[in-house]
Every structure is written in C-alpha cells, then in structure tokens.
Amino acid sequence: MERLDARVGVAFGIQLPIQAQSTMFAETWEAGAGVDELGSVARVADRAGFAYVAVCDHVAIPKPRAPAMSTTWYDCVATLAYLAALTERVRLLSHVYVLPYRHPLAAAKQWMTLDALSGGRAILGVGTGHVEAEFAALGVDYHRRGALLDESIDAVRAALTDEFSAHQGIAWTYGEVGQQPRPAQARVPIWVGGSSPAALRRAAERGDGWLPQGPPEGGMSAGIARLREMRARSGRAGEPFTVGALSGPLYVGDPRWDVGRAVHGSPEQIAAFLRVLADFGVDQIQVAFRSRDVHELYDQLRVFGAEVAPLVTR
C-alpha cells in the first residue's frame, strides 16, 4: 500500500459501521443492524476498490462510560476473520488493537493466523488504549501502557518474523518458542495509531505505518515532517512506510437531509477536499460517510469508489 512517488493514487479505507457503536460516530440505524449488514458493507467496500476495512477494539466498557461509548464493540480479530471469508481483496485492519491488554505471544498467534487464513491481507494497527477503568478491569497498569506497547510491538514483530522467537523485557520474558501457522505475508504491516509525540516516535522507530487520531501538534504537515526526521535518525528512512490521514465525515452528492459537519458536494468537490490531505504526503486516507440506512451507505461507497477515488492523487 506504500505510495512513494509523486502524483500517484492515494489508497482509501473505511472503519466499518455496526461493529462499534459509540455515540461519537455511530449512525442511528446501526443499532438495529447486525452481522448480515456488517458483512454486506465489507463486501461492497471490497468490490468498490477500497484498500482496507477496519474494526475497533475494546474488551469491556466500564458502566459509567457505557451511555456514551455503548457496550457494543465486536471482538476485533474474530470479526476480521469472519470478514476475510466474505471478501476477496480488501485488507483487514485493526484501528486500533490495544496490544498492552494481551500477552504478545497470544496477540501474535491471533494475527499470524488471521494473515494465513486471509491469504496475506492482515494489517495490525496498534495503540495504547485510553479507558483507564478498562485497564483496571483487565489487571493492566494504565500508567505503563506506553512502555507496554513499545515492548509488545518488538515481541510481536519477532514472533511474526520467525517461527521461533524469544523475548526478554520488563513486562514479558520467555525462552525460544515456536508458533504456526506462519503468516502469508513476509512482513505483516504494523501501523501505529495516535497523534501524541510518543505515538509519532513509536510509529517512526517501530512501525510500518502511522494512523493519526486527529491532527498532531502543529498540524499534519508538521507531524509528517517530524515522522520523516525521526525515521531518518533511526536509520529507517529507506524502509517502506505508510502515512495515513482521516477525512472526517463525507457525503457524495447533494444531501436532502442534515448531514451536520460532513463535507459534501460533487465527486470533484469531494476529491478536491481530499487532495488537500493527499498533498501533505499521505499514502492512505480513512474516509467516513453519513448515511440514514445501510442502503444509502452502499450507495456512498460505490459512488466514492467509482467517481471520487480515481480523481485523488498526490
């Protein structure tokens, strides 16, 4: 998915509806939808040319947070494995999988199996997590989550790279152990989520890509420049790296209803908006669409894939 040459096409992905129903982003129709609609949205995205579909990750929502976050958060890896069987080409991304919640060998086993079952379509997007009470419920130290993520990325990368791996760290230590099935990809991409200085540093030093969570300090252009500087200092400037961006909500066409803050207009107008992001030097943009029901979302995905995406270059 790397886009390294000037004026080339930008890849597009979506976070799937239904599988996560926080009031911050879910449409009202999602509450009445289920597995059939989730699968059909993934299939439409696959056929419309989207580069990836993404699934979120929470394990257990603390009751005080439930009114805003809801408790509907499908298991990330199980959902992606189900969708792998329904699709043919589209990549399968976690946005983002909270590695500090899991032992790195258990996480590596999940992701190498997903990659093997999907024919090499897995992308492991990782993050620190943000709900302190969820960490407490799982018996994980919230205040060490950054250090845990750093260590677990290294351990998971080693397990994904070689059949036998060992690790000696602060949180986890184990001797040489073997894991099969091996991933289909020679290197399962690990994309690091977050826009804090620590997240940018982690992406530059350990990641194969960056998934921003909002603009970093100084804006996207400054954040990307810092990424490049840190990658150069780490001796990784020549390695493939995928820079991501978030579009915010979109609506292709003339909406006959209140789409709120969504950017809307003709395919060319939407493409012009996205080219602003592309010109920062991003390789993939995660887009989102307003919709009143699943059929309107199908229509948005299809028209975007056919009429908007081909117009966006950087």
The per-residue pLDDT for 313 is 81
Q: pLDDT tens for residues 73-116?
A: 999 999 999 999 999 999 999 999 999 999 999 999 999 999 99
Give burial (CB, 10 Å; 0-12/13-18/19+) of 169.
middle
* Mean pLDDT score across all residues of the chain: 96
Please give the model's pTM, rounded to 2 decimal places: 0.96
Predicted confidence (pLDDT) at residue 139 exceeds the cutoff of 50: yes
Residue (of 173, 230, 235, 174) closest to 199 by Cα position: 230
Q: Domain 11-247 has what CATH class?
A: alpha beta
**Cα 110 from Cα 138, distance rounded (Å):** 19
User: Does 314 have pLDDT greater than 80?
Assistant: no
| Residue 205 pLDDT | 98
Predicted confidence (pLDDT) at residue 2 exceeds the cutoff of 70? no
Q: Amino acid identity, residue 5?
A: D
